[in-house]
């Protein structure tokens, strides 16, 4: 996927430390809480949401060039490290948090927290932060893409095994539904890239808005369904604060493990940045539709930990990326890929 992404956030005053897209996400949750849809309108919204996410993954596939795939395949150790962080270390930390139930986290919040730990990595924000920090952008492109593709199959399997069949609706049909909604459009985008790639390049700004809008649509649908089923009656402000603290610890641990662990493994600075940003984050684009399939009516509460973690990771990684760009070695190290500005942060 080309690393020259459209601006994915509105411009805010420099003194405001919050990305505008995060504010829009919060506003979407508030809108769903005040004006939830139900009945026929909810059914229509569900179909529109499925179509929007399928189109989003088609665009992901169409943007990822064959040259970038070939370049990325040469970094197999890096990709294995990112996959291990995403689908091994994260789940182990999620399982360790089971000891917090019921004193800190309710059983329902813990299920959502564990699901967060099973979701694949992001694509675009991994690329954006790696580029801002002057890291290995081609490696970040492929690491995020490979993680998303592996997660389409691995995340449902892990959810069924670790969260449990009583909470997760897992079957061959559910996996097939996720594959048809995420993997098939991605592969179709790859197949049609030679014909649509130029169009996507010429209209990347408009497509960037669609990129954000599709995620907002899924967020609205999930929380709207949750409101109809009384999601906010199931969590107190104290529990919500406790969840935030637990997620802060989780993010801090993963940022440290990916940075210092990759150093111990002998990766150069550029690769370490790609590993840190791709290996410490979780994708809303992949996680939300998976939760809708796996959790059904309980998806609203199940994605709440992922929503909070998503906002937290964007704010923290934006600060880290800007500071990494000021490292002394960054000035003498060539940028592996086209740079993007600090405002071009996605999911």
- Model confidence at 15: pLDDT above 50: no
Least confident of 40-49, 67-76, 149-158, 261-270: 67-76
Q: What is the pLDDT of residue 333?
A: 56
Q: In 10 A of CB 175, how many CB atoms?
A: 18
Which of 122, 119, 83 is CA-nearest to residue 5?
Answer: 122
Its pTM stands at 0.78
The rounded distance, in Å, linking the Cα atoms of 64 and 234 is 41
Q: What is the pLDDT of residue 152?
A: 87
Q: Which of 30-34, 255-259, 305-309 holds the top average pLDDT?
A: 255-259
- Model confidence at 19: pLDDT above 80: no
Q: What is the pLDDT of residue 100?
A: 94
The rounded distance, in Å, linking the Cα atoms of 283 and 304 is 13
Reported as a single tens digit per residue, the pLDDT across 314-337 is 888 888 988 888 877 765 555 444
- Model confidence at 38: pLDDT above 50: yes
Higher per-residue pLDDT: 23 or 316: 316
The rounded distance, in Å, linking the Cα atoms of 28 and 46 is 16
Q: Kindly tell me the sign of the dihedral angle through the C-alpha atoms of 127, 145, 313, 217.
A: positive
Which of 239, 309, 317 is CA-nearest to residue 278?
Answer: 317
Reported as a single tens digit per residue, the pLDDT across 282-299 is 988 788 888 878 887 667
Average pLDDT value over all residues in the chain? 81
Reported as a single tens digit per residue, the pLDDT across 114-147 is 999 999 998 878 888 888 888 888 888 888 888 9
For residue 255, name the pLDDT band (cuts at 50, 70, 90). very high
- CATH of the domain spanning 20-327, picked from 1.10.10.10, 3.90.850.10, 3.40.50.800, 1.20.1530.20: 1.20.1530.20
Reported as a single tens digit per residue, the pLDDT across 150-180 is 998 899 889 988 987 666 766 667 778 888 8
């Amino acid at each position: 996927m080309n690393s020259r992404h459209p601006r994915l956030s509105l411009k805010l005053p420099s003194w405001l430390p919050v990305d505008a897209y995060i504010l829009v996400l919060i506003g979407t949750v508030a809108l769903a809480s005040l004006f939830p849809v139900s009945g026929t309108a909810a059914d229509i919204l569900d179909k529109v949401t499925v179509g929007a996410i399928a189109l989003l993954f088609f665009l992901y596939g169409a943007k990822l060039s064959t040259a970038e795939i070939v370049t990325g395949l040469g970094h197999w150790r890096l990709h294995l490290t990112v996959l291990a962080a995403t689908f091994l270390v994260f789940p182990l930390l999620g399982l360790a948090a089971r000891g917090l139930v019921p004193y800190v986290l309710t059983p329902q919040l813990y299920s959502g927290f564990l699901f967060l730990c099973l979701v694949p990595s992001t694509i675009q924000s991994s690329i954006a932060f790696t580029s801002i920090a002057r890291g290995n952008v081609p490696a970040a492109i492929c690491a995020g893409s490979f993680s998303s593709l592996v997660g389409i199959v691995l995340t449902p399997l892990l959810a069924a095994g670790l969260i449990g069949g009583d909470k997760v609706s897992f079957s061959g049909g559910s996996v097939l539904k996720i594959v048809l909604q995420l993997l098939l459009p991605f592969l179709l985008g790859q197949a049609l890239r030679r014909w649509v790639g130029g169009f996507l390049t010429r209209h990347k700004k408009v497509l960037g808005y669609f990129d954000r809008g599709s995620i907002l649509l899924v967020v609205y649908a999930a929380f709207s369904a949750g409101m109809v089923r009384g999601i906010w009656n199931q969590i107190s402000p104290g529990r919500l604060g406790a969840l935030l603290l637990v997620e802060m610890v989780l993010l801090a641990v993963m940022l440290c493990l990916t940075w210092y662990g990759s150093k111990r493994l002998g990766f150069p600075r550029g690769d370490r940045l790609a590993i840190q940003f791709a290996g410490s984050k979780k994708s809303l684009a992949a996680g939300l539709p998976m939760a809708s399939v796996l959790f059904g009516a309980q998806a609203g509460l199940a994605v709440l930990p992922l929503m909070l973690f998503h906002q937290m990771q964007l704010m923290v990684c934006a600060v880290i990326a800007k500071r990494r760009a000021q490292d002394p070695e960054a000035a003498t190290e060539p940028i592996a890929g086209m740079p993007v500005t600090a405002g071009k942060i996605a999911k």
